[in-house]
Amino acid sequence: MRSRNFRAVFFMAKWWDGHKIDNMIDVWTLLMNLPRVIWQTRCNFKEIKKFCKMKFAHVEIWLPYDGQYQPRQCDWMNGLMWTSTMRDDDNGTVFRKATEVLKDRSRWMYWEFLVPATHHLENARCYAMNEVLYNKGYGKRDIAKFFPGIRHIVPNDETRNICSEFSVWFMVIAKTIFTKFKMMSPRLMAWEIYRATDELPVAVQEKKHERKDDREAG
């Protein structure tokens, strides 16, 4: 039986690492959404501080390994991660092995979800695969989707995604957190998940019993 779990995984921007686009997304999405957060929290400085710490510039959907043989209930590190990216040699909506993506796990945080019904997650998988098969890449013009006033005048091709656009659609189809699609940045997406769950994201790391299970399975 396939797992009904998935994770929304967020990559933390970090200054002086050479990733200028990440830093730009970090600063812009903070300034853009800070007034909204101040209003939503009624100037609750503890909550505003949490939002400011969500320096997320990228998001991916993480599905566990669900082959015929499962070494454990949810085998995450042998699973796949789905997103839209122009990092490294990838361009557009792609899926990759989790071990290839999570090279610096200190930069990744996640929320884990249990999908209400198996067919909801299967529908989301079909959406994800369709986007990979028919995507037309991720161009620099697509970064304009982060800017509310500009994104309405940028030609919008349904087969061109930004990472949060793909991820929000996945969660809408999986009927998890988001009930309808709304364009948002990774930072705002993380904030909305936090507001819905009242839980902060968890750092990506393998637990000791998971590594033990790997040895037993091998």
pLDDT, residue 75, reads 86
pLDDT, residue 213, reads 41
This prediction has a pTM of 0.85
Rounded-to-5 percentages of helix, strand, coil across the chain: 45, 20, 35
Domain that residue 213 falls in:
5-217
Q: DSSP character for 117?
A: S
pLDDT, residue 141, reads 64
Q: How far is 175 from 172, CA to CA, in rounded Å?
A: 5
pLDDT, residue 144, reads 64
Number of Cβ within 10 Å of residue 154's Cβ equals 14
Q: Choose among 75, 99, 96: nearest CA to 87.
A: 96
pLDDT, residue 140, reads 61
pLDDT (tens digit per residue) in 156-212:
566 678 899 999 999 999 999 999 998 889 999 999 999 999 999 999 975 543 444
Counting the structural domains of the chain, the total is: 1
pLDDT, residue 190, reads 98
Q: Choose among 5, 18, 8, 40: nearest CA to 186.
A: 8
pLDDT, residue 161, reads 84
- Identify the segments of the chain with pLDDT beneath 50: 208-218
Contact (Cβ atoms closer than 8 angstroms) between residue 6 and residue 125: no
Q: How far is 191 from 36, CA to CA, in rounded Å?
A: 11
pLDDT, residue 150, reads 57
